[in-house]
Amino acid sequence: MTEKATFAAGCFWGIEDAFMQLEGVVSTRVGYTGGHTENPTYREVCGDTTGHAEAVLVEYDPQKISYDALLKLFWQIHNPTTLNCQGPDIGSQYRSAIFYHTPEQEEQAKRSKAEMDEAGRFKDPIVTEIIPATPFYEAEEYHQKYNQKHGRHCSI
């Protein structure tokens, strides 16, 4: 039986690519979540008016990989201290967020964030949101596995 995890950490192409490399990840889909517009398009999300973040929905086998391992990768692949910004990408659609699907995921995410803060890995405070998962709208098909199809155009 698989479980779901949803993360936002900037451009979803690179984030998806990173999670796809993990053994135990069954599938990934990129899309939009956390906003107020139903069935948004990429153009609408890029306009920064929908409230949605570019995100990756990860389906994983908890017998092969833990949620904590997914969190560990999440903290490694982006800068969680920049509000609404990752590298050259600016806007709330590029925010850092963990969308939890269960109370256990919420607890683990909050503990993980606190541990990262306490470890002092980042000189600035972590601004990552930890919020309940909301409807996930899959991005257009040409965005799915984009880096695999076209080479690395969006890095993390």
**Phi and psi at residue 16, to the nearest 5°:** -60, -45
| Alpha carbon distance 130, 108 (integer Å) | 10
Nearest residue to 81 (alpha-carbon basis) of 6, 10, 20 = 10
Give the three-state DSSP class for 46: helix
- Active site amino acids: 11
| Alpha carbon distance 76, 49 (integer Å) | 28
How far is Cα of residue 78 from the mean position of the Cα atoms in its chain?
Answer: 10
Nearest residue to 81 (alpha-carbon basis) of 98, 95, 99 = 95
Side chain identity at residue 120, one-letter code: G
* Run of H or E including 6: strand 3-9
